[in-house]
Chains A and B, each alone.
Chain A
């Protein structure tokens, strides 16, 4: 059974800092991995999707990497801003069009 872990549960950084959010998963046979952002009481906003054959994806100040063999992904946020404050969720899909298994998320607070 796939398990997704995100540690730490919460992170507080000063504005402008570059930071890395970690995600690990137990079964390396994944189809893809997706990072989401969730603001309090809101839905999930897709940030980046990495296919199993890819190593990384970039969108603006965000870069996500995937190391399938070690069961890890990282989300790199460059030059963090207070508006980046949110919970960041990692989710893996183990088969085409299959369900996503989510981590519990990392709640990020960027201090002005």
Chain B
């Protein structure tokens, strides 16, 4: 069964450093997403991406965040200058076109010190 894969599984960084989280969506999916979950809180939408551009973003997704599809398989989330409050689990997801079902990766845990 194809799955969404994410790397790294855990990253520890210092406040102010840049971080790139990587995702490989399921190969025939066209819509990609980033969500995050702060410990003990709800899963929150960050951004959706289709046809090489952002299709929707939340208020959380400010100028410190960016997404990119640098090649035919990877989808990345960059945080330019991390803050303590960016510590969270970041999930990548892709959508099956026929049903609309979203499939999530295992997540990348980001810890900002």
Evaluate contact between B31 and A44: CB separation under 8 angstroms.
no
Count A-B contacts at CB 8 Å.
55
B46 to chain A, nearest CB (A): 9
Evaluate contact between B107 and A99: CB separation under 8 angstroms.
no
A107 to chain B, nearest CB (A): 11
Evaluate contact between A31 and B104: CB separation under 8 angstroms.
no
**Interface flag for B55 (CB, 8 Å):** yes
Count residues of A near B (Cβ-Cβ below 8 Å). Answer: 25
Contacts A/B (CB < 8 Å), 21 sampled: A34-B101, A36-B104, A42-B106, A43-B105, A43-B106, A44-B91, A45-B104, A46-B102, A49-B100, A49-B101, A89-B43, A97-B31, A97-B48, A97-B95, A98-B56, A100-B35, A100-B102, A101-B45, A102-B43, A104-B41, A105-B42
